[in-house]
Amino acid sequence: MRIVAGLFKGRMLAAPKGDVTRPTADRVRQALFDTLMHAEWGGRELVAGATVLDAFAGTGALGLEALSRGAAHGHFFESDPAALEALRANIASFRAKASVHRDALRPPRGPSCQLAFLDPPYREGLIPPAIAALRTAGWLKPGAVIVIETARDEETPDLGELLDQRRHGAAMISIYRLGEATA
């Protein structure tokens, strides 16, 4: 696994051994960021200078890709010890402007992020409670763009306005503009 574009382009990502994490493939990240940066509802300003959140971060591939493409600061949440070790190694290796937190379901008070990535373990129903907790703690700016990765056949939660949805192998990537009523 490597960073696809930007400042860190081509840099390899450390990953924990085994199948505890399921890093988003290079080609899927490329397609996702092409969508974010070229859609009429997106654009370079969605990423450039942004404060981004990567919950259930694993290796941090999504958040680090955003930082590589010009995001100003990344906030990462990961609870698995092996993934957390790889995440911290990747952040240190890239000298990324980032902070690491342990639990997206019990986050500390945080800054408002305009772009968030949530890639939890499939089929565990973690997205709605994580969104609720992150909103309550102030991590999600009103109208934030939220990117979620679920299993291809998993039901996606209603998070607001669905901006885009695409299947990539076993995964489904859904992009929302966070609605006001979503808790």
Taking the CB of residue 68, how many other CB atoms lie within 10 A of it?
21
* 63 Cβ neighbours under 8 A, 6+ residues apart: 52, 53, 54, 57, 71, 74, 75, 76, 98, 117
The pLDDT assigned to 16 comes to: 87
Residue 60 falls within a domain, yes or no?
A: yes
Q: How confident is the model over 113-142, as a mean pLDDT?
A: 96
The domain spanning residue 84 has which CATH number?
3.40.50.150
The pLDDT assigned to 182 comes to: 42
Residue 64 falls within a domain, yes or no?
A: yes
Considering its fold, how many domains does the chain have in total? 1
SS3 27: helix
The pLDDT assigned to 24 comes to: 79
On average, the pLDDT of the chain sits at 93
Q: Give 80's DSSP letter.
A: -
CA neighbor of 143 nearest in space, from 115, 120, 108, 117: 115
The pLDDT assigned to 26 comes to: 86
| Least confident stretch, 21-30, 56-65, 148-157 | 21-30
The pLDDT assigned to 177 comes to: 96
Question: What confidence tier does 20 reach under pLDDT thresholds 50, 70, 90?
Answer: low
- Tens of pLDDT, residue by residue over 88-112, are 999 999 999 999 999 999 999 999 9
Q: 111 — alpha (psi -120 to 50), left (phi > 0) or beta?
A: beta
Residue 12 falls within a domain, yes or no?
A: no
Question: What confidence tier does 183 reach under pLDDT thresholds 50, 70, 90?
Answer: very low
Residue 16 falls within a domain, yes or no?
A: no
Query: Domain range holding 168?
Result: 26-178
Residue 19 falls within a domain, yes or no?
A: no
| Least confident stretch, 14-18, 28-32, 63-67, 146-150 | 14-18
- Tens of pLDDT, residue by residue over 35-83, are 999 999 999 999 999 999 999 999 999 999 999 999 999 999 999 999 9
pLDDT at 169 over 60: yes
pLDDT at 164 over 90: yes
Question: What confidence tier does 158 reach under pLDDT thresholds 50, 70, 90?
Answer: confident
Residue 13 falls within a domain, yes or no?
A: no
Residue 169 falls within a domain, yes or no?
A: yes
Residue 75 falls within a domain, yes or no?
A: yes
